[in-house]
Amino acid sequence: MRNILSIYSNCSMGGMTTVYKNRIADSPSDRHHMVFKNDFGARGVFESYENARVDIADKGRLEAFVKYAYSTATYDEVRITSLPVIANILLDIAPDNVVYEFHSSTETILKTEVDILNLDKLKHIIVPSLYLQNIIVSMLPSECTVDVKVLPNIVDNSIFFQKQSNMIWDFRKESIPLIWIGRFDKGKNARDFLRALSLLPESYIGLLVVSMETEPERASSFMADVVSYRLDERVHIMMNLSQEEIAALYSYVSGKHGVFVSTSLGESFGYGVAEALACGLDTVAYDVGALAEREPLAGCAYSLVDVGDLSALRQEITRLHDSRVLNRV
C-alpha cells in the first residue's frame, strides 16, 4: 500500500477531479490524501471512497497546511499540479518524493511553471500524453536531467461504456442532439460550437454540459452569442452533471444518432473525447493537442478537422449522422 499526497488549486467538477477520482478507484489499495486551495463544490465526488481524504486549505493557508501535513504523515509520493511555488517548498524538504504534474494545454502557462520550478532538485515530471511530453521536454534546459514520463489519464470504464440509455430527457422527440462539454472560456471555444450548430438544419440541437462558472461575464457573453445566432430554442445548458449523468447523456445522444463535438483549441489529453468514444458515441473534434492519440471503439466513428473549419465540422457532423441512419446502427 502506498500513501500518496496530491496537491492542486481547485476542488471543482473539472478535469483534475476526474483524474484524481479515477486514480483512487483504480488503486483501492493505495491511500490518497488530496489537498486543494479552493473549494468549488466537488468534495462529494470522493465521499464514497474509503481510501480517499480531502482537505481544503483556503484563505492563504495552503503553504502552512502542506508543510504540516508532510510533517505529520509519511508519504511515498507527493504529486503537485499547477502550483510550482508549493512544489519548490516541498522539494527543499523531500526532493526524492516530489512529482510535478502538467495537465494544461496552454503553452504560456506551461512555460511559466517550468521557469518557476526548481529543476535542479526536481527529478520526476508526469504528463498525460505524448503531445504534452514533447512540449515539456522542449521547454526544459538542455542540461536538465529531470525524467518526463507519460502517465495517460484513466477512463472509468465502469461508468463510460456502450449501453442503452434508460433516462428520459425533455428534448424534442425528433431532434438530433449534439453534445459539447467544457467551460465558457476561450480555450474550450463554445462559440465555434454555436457557429457550427447555426449552419445545421433546425432538427439539430445543442446540449452543453458546463462545469461550474466563476466568471458571470463569460456566461453572459455565451448567452449573447446564443441569441445572436438565433439558437434560443435549440440550445440546452446543463450544469455540473455527475460522471454517471454524463455517461447516460452520451448513451442517449448515441441512440439518437447524434454526435459529440469538441471545438477546444487545445487538449493535453482530451477527457471529454476519450469518455465519449468509450461510450461508442461518434465524435468530431478540432485536430489539436493530444486528440490524435485517442482511439475509437470498433464501430464508432472519430473524425478530426482543422481548427476553425466550420464547413468541415458541419459536413462531418451530418456525414456521421447520415451514416448511422443509413446503416440503422
Is residue 84 scored above 60 in pLDDT?
A: yes
A 10 A CB-CB count for 264 gives 26
User: Contact 99/122 with Cβ under 8 angstroms?
Assistant: no
pLDDT in tens, 206-264: 999 997 666 788 989 999 999 999 999 999 999 878 889 999 999 999 999 999 999 99
The predicted pLDDT at position 299 comes to 85
Backbone angles phi, psi at 283, to 5 degrees: -135, 140
The predicted pLDDT at position 34 comes to 95
Domain topology for 3-150: Rossmann fold (3.40.50)
pLDDT in tens, 66-82: 999 888 999 999 999 99
The predicted pLDDT at position 212 comes to 65
Cell of 307: 481548427
∠ at Cα 74 (70, 77), nearest 5°?
Answer: 80
Which alpha helices (DSSP H) does 98-235 contain, by range? 107-116, 130-139, 190-199, 216-228
Query: Which sequence spans correspond to the domains of the chain?
Result: 3-150, 176-327
Q: What percent of the chain has pLDDT over 90?
A: 81
Looking at per-residue confidence, does 54 or 328 come out higher? 54
Cell of 116: 518557476
Q: What is the mean pLDDT of residues 299-311?
A: 96
Is residue 168 scored above 80 in pLDDT?
A: no
The predicted pLDDT at position 328 comes to 60
Is residue 107 scored above 60 in pLDDT?
A: yes
CB within 8 Å of 115: residues ≥ 6 apart: none
Q: What is the mean pLDDT of residues 138-148?
A: 96
Predicted confidence band of residue 170 (pLDDT cuts 50, 70, 90): confident
DSSP state of 152: P
Same fold yes or no, 3-150 and 176-327: yes
Cell of 51: 481510501
Query: What predicted TM-score, i.e. pTM, was given to this entire model?
Result: 0.91
Is residue 278 scored above 90 in pLDDT?
A: yes
The predicted pLDDT at position 58 comes to 78
User: Contact 73/3 with Cβ under 8 angstroms?
Assistant: yes
- Considering the domain delimited by 176-327, tell me its CATH architecture: 3-Layer(aba) Sandwich (3.40)
